[in-house]
Amino acid sequence: MSQTTVDRAVDERLALITDAGLVAHGRGSAAYDALVTGFNLDQSVSPVVVVRPRDAADVAALVRLANEHGFGVGVRLTGHGLSPALDDQVMVHTGDLAELHVDAEGRWARIGAGVVWQRVLDEAAAHGLGAIAGSAPSVGVVGYTTGGGLSPVGRTYGLAVDHVRSFDVVTGDGVLRRASATEDPELFWALKGGRGTAGIVTALELDLLPLAELYGGAVFFDGADAATVLRTWNAWSAELPPEATTSIAFLRLPPLPDLPPPLAGRFTVSVRFAWAGPLDEGAAVLAPMRAAATPVLDGVGRLPFAAFGAIHTDPADPMPVVEDHTLLAGLPDEAVDALLARVGPEADCPQLLVELRQLGGAYRTGPDAAFAHRDAAFTVHTVGLAVPPVREAALAHNGALLAALAPWSTGGRLPNFASRTDAGWYRAVYGEAGVARLRAVVLAHDPRNVLAGGRALRAATD
Ligand SMILES: Cc1cc2nc3c(=O)[nH]c(=O)nc-3n(C[C@H](O)[C@H](O)[C@H](O)COP(=O)(O)OP(=O)(O)OC[C@H]3O[C@@H](n4cnc5c(N)ncnc54)[C@H](O)[C@@H]3O)c2cc1C
């Protein structure tokens, strides 16, 4: 097809959508450029048109139009976790679905698909409540939750999906539905981990947590002490009660002026800790870990829930990154040695971050959901800067690290980390039975194969 023919097709698609009364932006406009740029600058997307629905009815109208005219529709908010490819599709940007209502008495919230966690944390905190947020408050509530949602208080409260009362969702047939344990329960199951495969969520209702404050934050150690700190963390975390959630991160941060001097331009190890038990007991629980070596920075203390992001101190600004991920069944001494050989002080490790999160506790139980792998013991997640030549080095290191940890890997993956759309990825995330069940929900609700998430699943697992 010539460029002129392509341009004409794009213009026609844009005209079709705007004629239907929807707010849409085509390639070449400043609004389009702003809406397609997301958190991970390594993942550029090129949809034909970006639509900004004002409400759920707009989403339903767009999906009905897609059914009539045979085009694909994908969805995105922040770009923290793109999947599947949105190229040459119509992309729904949910930024204007910004409703947020907290029912303090009933301890729940109604949250639009355009809301990021920090808004919920602030609003809930105003009522003395907390929420099952992820590590980065700039992540979208719906994107995170439809991927299961692993929280820095997850060992105490479980997955984010365990707290969802209902989803409002537009399915591929263009129908706006409500999915809950009693209304369309199979669709509800699929949305609890299936990300955007089964529908475009326009809002969800979520239980809040009876917690205004935690004892939490991060203690940073010098990278030279990495071996002692990791071995201590491994032994200490094995004995923690479920009121405690912890992770450890090997950080090699660039010498940026806005980073605290003890962390900028050097190798450090961060132990993250969140204690949801009685506040005055938190320090004693953390004490053995604090004593592992001399901290270079100690940021653990009483933490208002609205400052939840201080536990992981994730970056908030967009940057180009490459990631990888696996799940471990356990972390015996041999696995610790294998890890240290690739991320310890002697290693040539190009990653900005290699992180292990301890699972267990409340993760192990919860209502039936598309999210699998409740039994895994640890997650491993790598993040490298995607700027040549570091990008290639980070990709190679990812491969070598995951191969070295393979003897202890469960072979599973979580929906929210390093997402892809190939058959192997879907099987690793949902298992054979989970993929079959998810496909059945998609086929039942999207007969014309319109939604990008469902399309990708179908194409990979046909
Ligand atoms: C710095 C950082 C920290 C993170 N920390 C955590 C963490 O602690 N725990 C955790 O579980 N995850 C974490 N993640 C992963 C994150 O939760 C996922 O990438 C999540 O999908 C991001 O959602 P989003 O809407 O912000 O991103 P987007 O890139 O906009 O969306 C990602 C995907 O979510 C789905 N999605 C988004 N909106 C909708 C919708 N309205 N309806 C249906 N599907 C939708 C789609 O599949 C979409 O491709 C982190 C990611 C980053 C970059």
The atom number, within ligand 1, closest to the CA of 199 reads 43
The pLDDT value given to residue 159:
98
- 278 shares its domain with 244: yes
Residue 288's CB: how many other CB atoms inside 10 A? Answer: 13
Split at pLDDT 50, 70, 90, the class of 10 is confident
Structure tokens at 275: 């204690």
How close is the Cα of 141 to the center of ligand 1, in Å? 8
- 353 shares its domain with 224: yes
How close is the Cα of 138 to the center of ligand 1, in Å? 10
Q: Tell me which residue of 104, 97, 95, 64 sits closest to 77, measured CA to CA.
A: 95
Residue 105 lies in a domain: yes
Summarize the chain as % helix, strand, coil (round to 5): 40, 25, 40
Split at pLDDT 50, 70, 90, the class of 38 is confident
Residue 281 lies in a domain: yes
The pLDDT value given to residue 84:
61
Let me know: does 303 contact 259? Beta carbons within 8 Å: no
How close is the Cα of 79 to the center of ligand 1, in Å? 7
Of the residues 210, 227, 252, the one at which a domain ends: 210
Residue 101's CB: how many other CB atoms inside 10 A? Answer: 12
Contacts of 66 (CB under 8 A, 6+ apart): 72, 73, 90, 174, 450
Residue 130 lies in a domain: yes
pLDDT over 80 at 81, yes or no? no
Question: Where do runs of H (alpha helix) occur along 200-315?
Answer: 226-238, 282-290
Of the residues 154, 175, 210, the one at which a domain ends: 210
Evaluate: CB of 195 within 6 angstroms of ligand 1: yes
CA distances, 89 to each of 49, 367, 422, 450 (Å): 7, 34, 18, 10
Residue 170 lies in a domain: yes
- 72 shares its domain with 90: yes
pLDDT over 80 at 52, yes or no? yes
Contacts of 57 (CB under 8 A, 6+ apart): 176
Question: Per-residue pLDDT averaged across 46-68, rounded?
Answer: 97
Structure tokens at 352: 């900005």
Kindly report whether the peptide bond that precedes residue 345 is cis, defined as omega within 30 degrees of 0.
Answer: no
How close is the Cα of 114 to the center of ligand 1, in Å? 12
The model's pLDDT over 223-269, given as tens digits with 9 standing for 90+, comes to 999 999 999 999 999 999 999 999 999 999 999 898 999 999 999 99
The pLDDT value given to residue 42:
85
How far apart CA 448 and CA 267 sit, in angstroms, is 51
- 281 shares its domain with 358: yes
Evaluate: CB of 201 within 6 angstroms of ligand 1: yes
Q: What's the number of domains the chain is made of? A: 3
pLDDT over 80 at 218, yes or no? yes
Let me know: does 247 contact 203? Beta carbons within 8 Å: no
Contacts of 75 (CB under 8 A, 6+ apart): 91, 92, 94, 113, 196, 200, 452, 453
- 86 shares its domain with 199: no
Evaluate: CB of 137 within 6 angstroms of ligand 1: no
- 201 shares its domain with 246: no
Residue 427 lies in a domain: no
Mutate to test the pocket of ligand 1, among 77, 169, 176 (most ligand atoms within 8 A of CB): 77
Of the residues 408, 427, 450, the one at which a domain ends: 408
Handedness of CA 368, 371, 373, 374 (dihedral sign): negative
Q: How many CA atoms lie within 13 A of 58 on its CB side?
A: 21
The pLDDT value given to residue 1:
59
- 15 shares its domain with 29: yes
- 228 shares its domain with 204: no
CA distances, 65 to each of 8, 68, 69, 200 (Å): 19, 5, 6, 15
Residue 422 lies in a domain: no
Evaluate: CB of 358 within 6 angstroms of ligand 1: no
Residue 306 lies in a domain: yes
Question: Per-residue pLDDT averaged across 49-64, rounded?
Answer: 98
The model's pLDDT over 319-369, given as tens digits with 9 standing for 90+, comes to 899 999 999 999 999 999 999 999 999 999 999 999 999 999 999 999 999
- 63 shares its domain with 203: no
Percent of the chain clearing pLDDT 90 (strictly above): 89
Percent of the chain clearing pLDDT 70 (strictly above): 98
Split at pLDDT 50, 70, 90, the class of 4 is confident
Evaluate: CB of 95 within 6 angstroms of ligand 1: no
The atom number, within ligand 1, closest to the CA of 197 reads 47
Let me know: does 336 contact 305? Beta carbons within 8 Å: no
Evaluate: CB of 344 within 6 angstroms of ligand 1: no
Q: Which residue has the tokens 């980073």?
A: 259
- 285 shares its domain with 374: yes
Q: What is the mean pLDDT of the chain?
A: 95
Evaluate: CB of 38 within 6 angstroms of ligand 1: yes
The atom number, within ligand 1, closest to the CA of 419 reads 19
How close is the Cα of 414 to the center of ligand 1, in Å? 12
**Domain containing residue 172:** 100-210
The pLDDT value given to residue 83:
64
Residue 454 lies in a domain: no
**CATH of residue 314:** 3.40.462.20
The model's pLDDT over 146-190, given as tens digits with 9 standing for 90+, comes to 999 999 999 999 999 999 999 999 999 999 999 999 999 999 999
Q: What is the per-residue DSSP string for 313-377?
A: ----S-B-EEEEEEEES---HHHHHHHHHHHSTTS----SEEEEEE--GGGG--S--S---TT--
Out of 216-225, 275-284, 418-427, 437-446, pick the least confident.
418-427
How far apart CA 181 and CA 352 sit, in angstroms, is 41
How far apart CA 184 and CA 181 sit, in angstroms, is 7
- 156 shares its domain with 197: yes
How far apart CA 429 and CA 424 sit, in angstroms, is 9
Question: Per-residue pLDDT averaged across 35-58, rounded?
Answer: 92
- 53 shares its domain with 193: no
Give the DSSP H or E segment for 65: helix 56-69
**CATH of residue 82:** 3.30.43.10
Question: Per-residue pLDDT averaged across 89-111, rounded?
Answer: 97
Residue with CA closest to ligand 1 atom 21: 143
Evaluate: CB of 76 within 6 angstroms of ligand 1: yes
Q: What is the per-residue DSSP string for 166-203?
A: EEEEE-TTS-EEEEESSSSHHHHHHHTT-GGGS-EEEE
How close is the Cα of 78 to the center of ligand 1, in Å? 8
Evaluate: CB of 81 within 6 angstroms of ligand 1: yes
Evaluate: CB of 325 within 6 angstroms of ligand 1: no
